């Protein structure tokens, strides 16, 4: 998923790179997970220029897959960090909604992460860039059925194993 995402976004003129990419599988809706990852990348693109770098990585840490999007862009002021995951929040309130979005992207990332039992956080330095980390619990292969049972399918509950590396 990381490499496919990078391939789709590589048409944006940035210095793209891939950091560590560990193999990881999470229980997730692949469409929602892709939506969250795209929102993080879109955010990085909006706050960088062609001279800046954007790096994608995936690390396994203590039962968690950590998908990170790091950039060398504008960064986020400390007073803004507390609210960037709120709906309709924007890091730069002076940006027009036409060019700066409506402020839903990071709230969507948070909602997707929480719906999958995970979280999202950010580290940022104003003028130096930001790193967003989407943390999702790793799938426990012993708990997951190879295929959904007939009972699960009829109830509409299908566990999806999504390789994110």
| Predicted confidence (pLDDT) per residue in 127-140, tens digit | 999 999 999 999 87
Pick left, alpha or beta for residue 11 (phi over 0 → left; psi -120 to 50 → alpha; otherwise beta): alpha
The answer to whether 26 and 159 have CB atoms below 8 angstroms apart is no
Beta strands 25-27; 53-61: pairing state:
unpaired
Side-chain half-sphere CA neighbours of 74 within 13 A: 12
| Predicted confidence (pLDDT) per residue in 12-46, tens digit | 999 999 999 999 999 899 999 999 999 999 999 99
The answer to whether 19 and 133 have CB atoms below 8 angstroms apart is no
Give burial (CB, 10 Å; 0-12/13-18/19+) of 14: buried
Confidence band for 143, pLDDT divided at 50, 70 and 90: low
Question: What topology is assigned to 2-6+15-152 in CATH?
Answer: Heat Shock Protein 90 (3.30.565)
Whether residue 53 is predicted with pLDDT greater than 90 in this model: the reply is: yes
Residue ranges per domain, the chain?
Answer: 2-6+15-152
Whether residue 159 is predicted with pLDDT greater than 90 in this model: the reply is: no
The torsion angles phi and psi of 32, rounded to 5 degrees, stand at -70, -40
């Amino acid at each position: 998923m990381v490499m496919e995402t990078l391939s789709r976004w590589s048409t944006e003129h940035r210095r793209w790179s891939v950091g560590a990419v560990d193999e990881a599988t999470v229980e997730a809706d692949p469409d929602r997970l892709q939506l969250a990852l795209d929102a993080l990348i879109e955010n990085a693109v909006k706050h960088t220029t062609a001279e800046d770098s954007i790096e994608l990585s995936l690390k396994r840490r203590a039962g968690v897959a950590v998908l990170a999007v790091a950039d060398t862009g504008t960064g986020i002021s400390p007073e803004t960090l507390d609210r960037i995951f709120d709906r309709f929040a924007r890091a730069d309130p002076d940006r027009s909604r036409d060019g700066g979005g409506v402020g839903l992207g990071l709230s969507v990332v948070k909602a997707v992460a929480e719906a999958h039992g995970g979280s999202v956080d950010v580290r940022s330095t104003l003028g130096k860039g930001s790193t967003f980390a989407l943390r999702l619990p790793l799938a426990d292969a012993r708990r997951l059925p190879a295929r959904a049972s007939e009972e699960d399918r009829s109830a509409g509950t299908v566990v999806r194993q999504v390789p994110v590396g």
